Structure 1
Amino acid sequence: MRFQLTADQRALRDGVRDVVARIFGREALWNAVDRGGGLDRGWWRELGAAGFFSLRLSEAEGGVGLGVPEAVLVFEEAGRALLPGPLVATHLAAGVVPGAATGEVVVTAVGGGGLVEWLEEADVVVGEARGAVALRSVDPLTPLHRVPGADPSAPSAGLDDLFVLLTAAEQLGTAVRACEAAVQHARTREQFGRPVGAFQAVKHLCAELLVRVEVARAAVYAAAVTVDPVDIAAARLLADEAAVRGARDCLQVHGGMGFTWEADVHLCLKRAWVRAERGGSITESEELLARELLIEAG
C-alpha cells in the first residue's frame, strides 16, 4: 500500500490546521485552562460550519462526502491542537442526531468502562449514563463522569470501531505535538554554552519520539484504509504508546521546566492519559491482535 497523501488530502489537512489555529490556538488553549474549562459553543459551531462533523456525510445530506482516511487526517490535527470537547462522539452522530453535523448540538458517548466525557455540557448522550458520578479529571480540559457499577476493565464491544480509530488519530496528533515541542526545545535551550540537543541522551530521546510517531502514523493511516478491527486495534495500541511515552520523553527533554504549570507539555500527557481510557481496556485490543497473529501462525 502507498500512504502518500494526495494533493486534496494535503490541502484538507492544511486547511483544518489553519481553522483550528484560528479558533483554538495556544492563547485560547490557556485561556480555557485558566477559566477552568467549559465548552465554547461559538467555536463548536465554527467547527460545524467548517465541515468538521459532517465530513463523512454525503453531499446530498449536507455533508462534505469524504471518507475515513480524510476523517483521520482531520482528527490528527485536532489532537495536535489539543482541541477539547467530545469531538469523536459528535462526529459519529452527524446524520443521526439532528444538529450534530452543524455543531448546534453537542453529543457525548459512554466510553470504555463507563467513562463519559463532557456529560454536563452535552445535549445528547449515546449510551446509558443515568446516575453517572463526577470524577476528578487529570486533564483540566476534559471533565469526566463514570457510570456506577461499570467495570473499568470491561470489554468495549459496544464502541464503534471508528470511535477507537478516530481516538487513535487524536493520540497521533498529540504525539506529533510532543515531538515538535521536544525538538524545538532541544534546538533553542542552551546548557554549558551548547544547545541541549547537542547532548547524546537528548538526541536519543528525540529520535525515539520521532520513530514512535512515524510507526503510529503508518498504523493509523493503514487502519483508515482497511477499517479492519485488527488493524484498528494495532493502531490504537501504537498511537496510545506514541502519545503517552512521547509526552513523557518530551518532559524529560524539557527538564524541570516541563513540569511547571505554564508549560504545554503536561497538557499533552494528561490528555493522552484520558484518551487512552476512552476506548476501553487496552488488554482487549492486545488480545484481539494476539488472536489474529495466532491464527496467521496456524
Structure 2
Amino acid sequence: MRFQLSEEHRELRRAVRTAIGRRAASGSSWLVAQFPASLIGTARAGDSPPRLDREMWRALGGLGFFSMRLSEAEGGVGLGLPEAVLVFEEAGRALVPGPLVATHLAAGEVPGAATGEVVVAAADGRLVEWLAEADVVRRGAEGALPMKSVDPLTPLHRVPAPARTDPVAVLLTAAEQLGTATRVCELAVQHARTREQFGQPIGAFQAVKHLCAQMLVRAEVARAAVYAAAVTADRADIAAARLLADEAAERGARDCLQVHGGMGFTWESEVHLHLKRTWVRAQRGGGATESEELLAADLTG
C-alpha cells in the first residue's frame, strides 16, 4: 500500500509552516518556524516557570489548530487525523510551546478550547505539562507535584499514578517528534555545508556525512510509519510509529549536536532545545515501554 500526500495535504503543510513563520501585524513575533527568539530569551533568563503566551494561543485557535478535527457544524474545520498529524509535525518542527495535544483533544468537550481562549492540561502518563498555566485540567492530575524540567520551555508536574493513554495523543506526540527529527536533520546539513575545518566544509568528511545520512534515514522511516498510522488509526501501528519517531527525534538531536560541536549547547543555537524537548515528549504516555508491550501483545495474539 502506498501512502502519498495529496496536493491538498502538501498545501496544508505549506500553509501551516507559513502561518507559524509569519509575524503579527504589530511586528511582534509570536511564532517563527526557524525558532522564536523571544523563547530563547525566556529560556536563557531561566524564568521559573515560563509563562505561556496567551496571544499566541488564541492565534493558534484562530488558525483552527485546536478545532481542525471538529465538524463544521461544531464550528471546526472538518479535517481528519492525517491532516492533524501534518499540522502537529510542523508544530514540533518549530518547537511551539504549550499543552498542544491536551488542548486539541479537549476542543470538542471544553468550552473555549477550540478557539484558544482556554488552555487545557491533562495528565499524560506520569507527567502534566503546563499545569499552572492551564484554565482546565483533565485526566487525573490530582496530587501532581512540581518537578524540575530538563526543557526550560516546558514546565512539568509529576502525578503519582500513570493516566490512561489516548491513542490519538500518542500519535500526535509521534508527529511532534517527527517534526523535530526533520528539523535537526536540516540544521545538521546546513551547518555541515557552511562550517569549515582544514580548508573545507565539515560535510566533506566521511564521519559527518554518515551522521547526516543516518539522521535522514531515521526521519524518513519514522515519517512513513507516522503517516501510515494516521491513515489506519490502528493501535499497533500507532505504537510502532511512536517508537520510530521517538528514536528518530532523540538520536537525530544527539547527532545534530555532534555535528555542531560545542556551539550546539549555546543559547544562540536551538539545537540543544530540540534535544531537551524530545526527552520530555518521550516521557509522555505511550512511550517506549508502553508501546513495546502493546506491540508484543499484538504480535503474540
If the length of structure 1 is used for normalisation, what is the TM-score?
A: 0.94
For 2:4, the aligned partner's letter is Q
**Aligned residues of 2:243 and 2:287 also touching (Cα < 8 A):** no
Partner of residue 257, structure 2: 251
Partner of residue 24, structure 1: 31
- Equivalent position SS for 2:157: strand
Q: 2:148 aligns with which of 136, 155, 172?
A: 136
Q: 1:121 aligns with which of 123, 127, 133?
A: 133
Deviation at 1:281, TM superposition (A): 4.7
Matches within 5 A, 1:190-201: 190-201=196-207
Deviation at 1:18, TM superposition (A): 1.1
Partner of residue 102, structure 1: 115
Deviation at 1:260, TM superposition (A): 2.2
Q: Does 1:49 align with 2:59?
A: no
Q: Does 1:233 align with 2:239?
A: yes
Could you tell me how far apart the structure 1 residues matched to 2:213 and 2:43 are?
31
Partner of residue 58, structure 1: 71
For 1:223, the aligned partner's letter is A
Matches within 5 A, 1:261-280: 261-280=267-286
Q: Does 1:76 align with 2:86?
A: no
Partner of residue 124, structure 2: 111
Question: Which ranges in structure 1 are unaligned for 5 or more consecutive residues?
Answer: none
- Equivalent position SS for 2:121: strand
Partner of residue 217, structure 1: 223
Quick check: 36-45 or 212-221, which moved more?
36-45
Deviation at 1:50, TM superposition (A): 0.6
Could you tell me how far apart the structure 1 residues matched to 2:236 and 2:251 are?
22
Aligned residues, how many?
288
Q: 1:164 aligns with which of 161, 170, 177?
A: 170
Q: Which runs of 4+ in 1 moved over 3 A?
A: none
If the length of structure 2 is used for normalisation, what is the TM-score?
A: 0.93
Which structure is higher in helix share?
1
Of all paired residues, the percent bearing the same amino acid is 73
- Equivalent position SS for 1:232: helix
Could you tell me how far apart the structure 1 residues matched to 2:10 and 2:39 are?
25
Deviation at 1:132, TM superposition (A): 1.5
- Equivalent position SS for 1:278: coil
Could you tell me how far apart the structure 2 residues matched to 1:236 and 1:259 are?
26
Deviation at 1:264, TM superposition (A): 0.8
Question: Which ranges in structure 2 are unaligned for 5 or more consecutive residues?
Answer: 23-29
The CA deviation string for residues 114-169 of structure 1, in whole angstroms up to 9 with x for no partner, is x110000001111222231111100011000012x33xxx5x5x121000000000
- Equivalent position SS for 1:145: strand
Could you tell me how far apart the structure 2 residues matched to 1:281 and 1:30 are?
27
Deviation at 1:40, TM superposition (A): 0.4
- Equivalent position SS for 2:182: helix
For 1:116, the aligned partner's letter is V
For 1:87, the aligned partner's letter is L
For 1:102, the aligned partner's letter is T
